Structure 1
Amino acid sequence: MGIIVTQGDAFCFSQIFKPGEAEKGCMMDGVLYPFGEISRTEDCLTCSCSKYDMHCCSLYHTPTDYDKETCKIIFNKKDCDYEVVQKDPSKPCAYYTRIG
């Protein structure tokens, strides 16, 4: 049985637009997102888009405190989450900490 401790929240960032820069929505990484709330972007973020700014937060936490000699992290883009597994991927790692 493992123990998972979550420290902090997901990371967040904001982008402020110049007047007229976001007339049809918010552009991020070559993708135009509509105004309003965006529940999930292609990069696993949840965002709020307006003509003035875009505010986004990650939907995942990054594992930090795990045995890096026997374990590795794998990002599962479908679930927007990291998995910490032993370098033999059939076994989970017992203890790790996540931060946002």
Structure 2
Amino acid sequence: MQKALLCRLMVWSTFVTLCNAQCYFMPNMYTPGDLSNECKDLDGVTHPLSSKWKTENCEECSCGQDGISCCNIAAIPMNYDTIKCQKIFNKETCSYTVVEQKDPGKTCFVSGWAI
């Protein structure tokens, strides 16, 4: 039983390390007696309880009873030749490409990505 628990803990900790998600939480600001079924984001836009949306900053957010949770959805290139290559972010597709600095038409090999 302990071996199985230890094994699960090791797998979980490895998964958490690899994911490295960039998330944050904004608690709802309630006044006493307020039973609101919505969340208000930083831009002042209200969202229904249990709804999900994507922001223009490539974050996926959700409205819960306690507030808004948001996480980055763009995978960031981590292991590539930073001297020879550069990363370019496409905000419309929420994705990066890694290309040669001297010849942007050529892509570079990336061995690791983080979210």
Whichever structure has more strand as a proportion of its residues is 1
Question: Which amino acid counterpart does residue 45 of structure 2 have in structure 1?
Answer: L
Question: Which amino acid counterpart does residue 99 of structure 1 have in structure 2?
Answer: A
Is contact 2:23-2:70 (8 Å) kept? Answer: yes
Residues 1-100 of structure 1 mapped to structure 2, 5 A cutoff: 7-8=18-19, 10-20=21-31, 25-28=39-42, 30=43, 32-35=45-48, 36-50=50-64, 52-87=66-101, 88-100=103-115
Cα–Cα, structure 1 residues 50 and 75, in superposed 2: closer, same or farther, change >3 Å?
Answer: same
Whichever structure has more helix as a proportion of its residues is 2
C-alpha distance in 2 between matches for 1:99 and 1:8: 6
Runs of 4+ in 1 over 4 A off after TM superposition: none
TM-score by length of 2: 0.66
Question: Which amino acid counterpart does residue 47 of structure 2 have in structure 1?
Answer: P
TM-score by length of 1: 0.74
Is contact 2:85-2:108 (8 Å) kept? Answer: yes
Structure 2: stretches of 5+ with no match in the other structure? 1-17
Residues 11-63 of structure 1 show CA distances to partners (whole Å, capped at 9, x for unaligned) of: 2221112214xx663222x3514224233111111111246310111111111
Name which one, 1 or 2, has greater alpha-carbon Rg. 2
